[in-house]
Amino acid sequence: MRVRFRFSKVGKVRFTSHRDVARMWERAIRRTGLPVTYSAGFAPRPQMSFGLALPTGCSSLAEYVDVELGERDASGQDTIEQDPAGLPEALTAVLPVGVRVEQAGPVAAGTGSLQEAVTCCRWALAIEGGDVADLARRVALLLESEVLRVVRERKGREVLDDLRPSVRRLWVEPDPVSWGRGPVVVLDAELATQPRGVRPTELVRALEHVGAPGNVNRRPSRRVDGSAVAGGGPEGTLVLSHACRIEQWIEQDGDRRAPLEPEGAPSGRCSARRALERAGCT
């Protein structure tokens, strides 16, 4: 059977990479003794499938992984049934500090992979380099733009992409929060992940260049905290101090839902500000 887990990744552990997280999960699953199925071949690996990679340095309240449990008999039928209820606690106990399993639930056989299914993510972005009014102005300009060109490198070649269709929603929290070296402005952003997603750093670069027609955002930094990138746009340098993924959504036929249905009564929407607090960044 396939079990889907939602987990958070906050605090110092957010500086590990997507691959590191996969290896943490492998070891954690072996330690719990869960009957995970292994791939065939010379180097059998536990069968797990992670969703969209979280950039190194970003935190998240909504990461997902699918794990295949049990053994299949010749007809492809699961030979065991696992009650996922106790799994979050058991796994959290053996995962590193900062990785917390929030929820587990069975996934119907034949469900598409997380990677393909998820179409949109919501982010809380902590920005330095401008005040709330400045960011609000830039956001308004960005949303009015018809195209947001960005130069990306693909297969060793530079290509021009348009970010604009991927920026679904974007707004500024009315009050700055205190983070690290000082106050940051909090952006709440819904960014599409398909066909090509927008990285939080790319969005911030776009905000630097917004309103400068024809100006192209070149070579965005791949990391959070873009302060190492020289220059900045004509609108001045913005620094993405932190990015926290708050939600992931699967959109289908105008409907949108989380990869795991929330347990119990639907909880209130988590504000970007609150998300940053939970990520241990305030």
Stretch that binds another protein, among 24-32, 64-72, 257-265, 267-275 (CB under 8 A): 24-32
Taking CB under 8 A as the criterion, the residue among 1, 3, 10, 28 binding another protein is 28
> Binders of another protein among 158-217, rule CB under 8 A?
180-181
- Rounded CA separation 26/18 (Å): 13
Give the other-Cβ count within 10 Å of 230's Cβ: 6
Convert residues 33-52 into a mask of x (bound to another protein by CB under 8 A) and - (unbound): x----x---xxx--------
**Residues with Cβ within 8 Å of residue 232, at least 6 apart in sequence:** 129, 208, 238
- 18 burial (CB, 10 Å; 0-12 / 13-18 / 19+) is middle
Q: How many residues of this chain bind another protein (CB under 8 A)?
A: 35
Taking CB under 8 A as the criterion, the residue among 193, 223, 258, 282 binding another protein is 223
The reply on whether position 12 binds another protein by CB under 8 A is yes
Stretch that binds another protein, among 72-80, 192-200, 212-220, 221-229 (CB under 8 A): 221-229
The reply on whether position 22 binds another protein by CB under 8 A is no
Taking CB under 8 A as the criterion, the residue among 13, 54, 87, 91 binding another protein is 13
**Residues with Cβ within 8 Å of residue 23, at least 6 apart in sequence:** none
CA distances (Å), origin 7, targets 97, 259, 260? 12, 12, 11
Taking CB under 8 A as the criterion, the residue among 4, 5, 16, 186 binding another protein is 16
Q: Where are the beta strands (DSSP E) in the chain?
A: 2-9, 48-50, 59-68, 99-107, 120-128, 149-154, 157-162, 167-172, 177-179, 182-192, 239-252, 255-257
Strands 59-68 vs 239-252: parallel, antiparallel or unpaired: parallel
Nearest distance, CB of residue 203 and another protein, angstroms: 16
Q: Which is nearer to another protein, 172 or 229 (CB)?
A: 229
* Structure tokens that stand for 22 in this block: 């996969």
Look-up of token digits 């990285």? 199
Convert residues 122-161 into a mask of x (bound to another protein by CB under 8 A) and - (unbound): ----------------------------------------
The reply on whether position 27 binds another protein by CB under 8 A is yes
- Which stretches of the chain bind another protein, using CB under 8 A? 12-13, 15-17, 19-20, 23-24, 26-31, 33, 38, 42-44, 56-57, 94, 96-98, 180-181, 223-228, 241
